[in-house]
Amino acid sequence: MTARATLRGDELIARRHLSASPERVWAAFTSPASIAAFWGGSHATVPGESVTVDLRPGGEFALETRAPDGATRRLRFVYVSITAPHELVFDEPVTGLRTTVTIQAADGGTDLTVHQRRLPPELRSTQAVDGLASILDALAAHLQQDQTTPPRRTA
């Protein structure tokens, strides 16, 4: 199954069912290493060392994206509300974009919804719709890979 995303005015909503528990999905959205693994979707990479997370209301998370042409962009968000492991709400302070990530147990996995409100005009595009869907698909692949990777042994 792939993500479904729709654009309505200044709102972008993406949904995907994931074959992982809500706790694992929550961990992916709040762990710097996991954020780096999926946030760029199919359109960018995120260097692991660029991701910072201060998981508390008023705390920030930030990351750098790198496009295939080498262009970089620093993204910064401020947490508004945190309800583990069910909901994250964060704002992008420059544009006022608000993102709500909702995580619900469903059918042996998790139903994930990412709802972005107050999209600036430049993000009201097919490219933004496809980009958000690809991020959720990359998250699904990351969670699947993480589940099948054997634990590391220590001596």
Structure tokens at 94: 């420059």
Please name each of the domains of the chain with its CATH number. 4-146 (3.30.530.20)
Per-residue pLDDT of the chain (155 residues; tens, 9 = 90+): 589 999 999 999 999 999 999 999 999 999 999 999 999 998 899 999 999 999 999 999 999 999 999 999 999 999 999 999 999 999 999 999 999 999 999 988 999 999 999 999 999 999 999 999 999 999 999 999 866 544 444 44
Give the number of other Cβ atoms within 10 Å of residue 87's Cβ.
15
Cα dihedral 57, 118, 74, 30 sign: positive
Structure tokens at 87: 């909901």
Give Cβ neighbours of residue 79 (< 8 Å, ≥ 6 apart): 54, 55, 56, 57, 58, 59, 60, 61, 88, 89, 90
Question: Structure pTM?
Answer: 0.91
